[in-house]
Chain A
Amino acid sequence: MADIPKRNIPGGNVPEGQHPSGKNEEAGKATLSRRRVLQTLAAAGGATLVGASAEVFADNKIKGWPDRKGMLTDLTECVGCRTCEKACNRANGLPEPEVPFDEKSVFEKKRRPTASAYTVVNRYENPKSSDKPLYRKVQCNHCNEPGCASACPVRAYTKTPEGAVLYNKDVCFGCRYCMVACPFYVPAYDYESALDPRIVKCTMCHGRVKNGGIPACAEACPVGAVTFGKRSDLIRAARERIRKNPDRYVDHIFGEYEVGGTSWLYLSGVPFDRLDFPANLVEKPLVEQTKGFLSAVPLVLTIWPALLGMCYASTRNKEGKE
C-alpha cells in the first residue's frame, strides 16, 4: 500500500497511437503484471481512504481540449446501406459477419455493438412516411466525461485529447462495471475468449485520426450522414442545418449536453426517443454523480477481496497461456 504509483493523467495508460484492439493487438500486448493491477487498486483504494477527491478519473481535464474532435451523424441522410459497418469492420480487422453486410434481414432485430461489430445500424419506422424507413447508427459516443472511465477500478479507460475514449484491454480484468455505467449500453464483453477478459468498443479510429486521417465510417459513408471534425465546428454546422431546414430536423443536437456532452453528435428528423435514444438523460456528467457515490462508499475497498481473487485467476490464466 505504501508504494502508491504516480497518478498519471488520462492518456497515460495507453501508449501513443496504440489501438486497444484489432490489428495492433499483438504489438501493443503488454503482459498484464499482477503487480501493476495491485498497484492501481492500491492507488484507487488509497486515494479513497485518504478522502482526497480521487482524481483518478477523466473528468475536468476535458475543458483544456477545445480542439477535440467529434462526429456528427445526420440521421435524416442515412439510407441504411451499412457501408459504415463494413468499413469499421475492415479498419479494425474484425472478422467478416455471419450475415453479409448487404443483407437487410439484420434489420428485423435491434442490434447492439458487439466484440465483432463496433458499430451497427438499426432500422425504425418513419412516422412521416412509411416507405422511407429511418436508421440509427449505434456505437460508443465517446462521452466528454465518460462514466465507463469513472466506474473502472483499474483505469482501463482513458479520454484522449482527440476526443476518443480508449480502452486498454491489458489492464482489464473483466469486472464489467463499465457495462453497467455506460448510459448507452455500449461496451461489449468478448465472450469468445472467456479466459482473456476483454471489453471492446469503437475507438473513433484513434490511430487513423492521430495520423491525420478520419474515422473509417465517416470516410465510407456515401451520403455524408457521418462527418468528422472539430466538435465545436460540428455543433455550429448542426445548428446551421437546423436553422436552414426547420421542417427537416427536430430542434435538438443529441450529445451536445447529454451526460455532460458526447463527442458523437446526432441530428434527427423525429424525436430522438422514437429511435431508442435514452430519454431524459441528465446534463451533468455521470462522473460527478458516481464520484459522490464512490467517495461515500469506498467501493473498491469493499469488494477488494473479490477483485483480487478475480485478478489472480485471470492473471494465472494468462500466464498459463503464454
Chain B
Amino acid sequence: MKNATVVVMAIALWAGVSAAGEKAGVGNVPKELVLGSLSRVYEPVRFNHSGHVSTAGGCADCHHQHGSTDVRSCTQCHRTDPSAFKKNVNAGMLKPCRECHSASAGPGAGIDRPTLKAAYHQACFKCHRGDVGTVGKDPKGCTEMCHVPAAQARLDGKK
C-alpha cells in the first residue's frame, strides 16, 4: 500500500521535472561506521557499511526514509533521472538513525517507534537472525558477532 502510494507519487514527479541533478549521485556513502551508543556496556561496534551496501543491494533495508515523519521533497534525496531514480540516493541527505530514534528509555519509549538500540538491532536482524551469525539461535551470538563487553575489552587492551 505504502509502496504503491510512493510509486504513484514518484511517477507524478518524474512527469513534472527535467533530468537535472546529475551531481546528486551515490557520493558520501560511509565506508566504515562506528556505532557507539551502547559504549557503557559494550565497546563500540565497527560496522562495515560499504560491504553491507553491496550485499544489501540498496539502502532501503536499513535507511527506511519513507513512511517516516520526513516531508522533504523527493529531489533532495533522489536524482530526477528516471532510469536511476531509485538507486541514486543522495547520501548526504540520509540522516543518522538517532535523529529520529531516541536513545533514552523512559515510560512509553519504543511503543510507536523503536528506540535507537532497538532500531539498529531490528534493522540488522532482518538478515542476521539465524542466517549470517548465530543471533536468534544462541545467546552468545551477540558477543560472537559484534559486541565486546566493555570491561573485557579494557582487559584485553592491557595484555
Contacts and interface: CB of A to CB of B under 8 A. Distances in A.
B151 to A, nearest CB: 14
B129 interface: yes
B86 interface: no
Given A227-B110, A229-B108, A79 B129 contact: yes
Interface residues on A, range: 20 to 34
A102 B140 contact: yes
A133 B111 contact: no
Given A132-B129, A222-B118, A80 B108 contact: no
A132 B136 CA distance: 6
Contact of B108 (A81, A223, A230): A230
A104 B121 CA distance: 20
Interface string A89-115: 000000000000111100000000000
B139 A80 contact: yes
Interface of A: 69, 72, 77, 79-83, 101-104, 129, 131-133, 209, 212, 214, 218-219, 221-224, 227-230, 233-234, 237, 240
Interface of B: 105-112, 114-115, 117-119, 121-122, 125, 129-131, 135-143
A224 B112 CA distance: 11
Given A79-B136, A102-B140, A214-B105, A223 B122 contact: yes
B111 A221 contact: no
B129 A237 contact: no
A218 B141 CA distance: 20
Contact of A101 (B121, B131, B139): B139
Nearest to B106: A214
Contacts of A129: 130
Contacts, number: 85
B15 to A, nearest CB: 30
A222 B138 contact: no
16 contacts: A79-B136, A80-B137, A82-B139, A103-B139, A104-B137, A131-B137, A133-B136, A214-B106, A214-B107, A214-B109, A222-B118, A224-B115, A227-B110, A228-B107, A229-B109, A233-B108
A102 B147 CA distance: 13
A224 B114 contact: yes
A82 B141 CA distance: 11
Given A229-B111, A237-B112, A224 B142 contact: no
A75 to B, nearest CB: 13
A222 B129 CA distance: 13
A83 B121 CA distance: 13
Nearest to A209: B107
A104 B105 contact: no
B121 A222 contact: yes
Contacts of B122: 77, 223-224
Nearest to A123: B137
A158 to B, nearest CB: 21
Contacts of B114: 224
Contacts of B112: 237, 240
B102 to A, nearest CB: 12
Given A222-B118, A224-B115, A233-B111, 16 more contacts: A80-B136, A80-B139, A103-B139, A104-B139, A104-B140, A131-B131, A132-B136, A133-B130, A214-B106, A214-B109, A222-B121, A223-B125, A224-B117, A224-B122, A233-B108, A234-B111
A82 B140 CA distance: 10
A132 B130 contact: yes
Contacts of B105: 214, 218-219
Nearest to A238: B111
A133 B118 CA distance: 19
Contacts of A104: 137-140
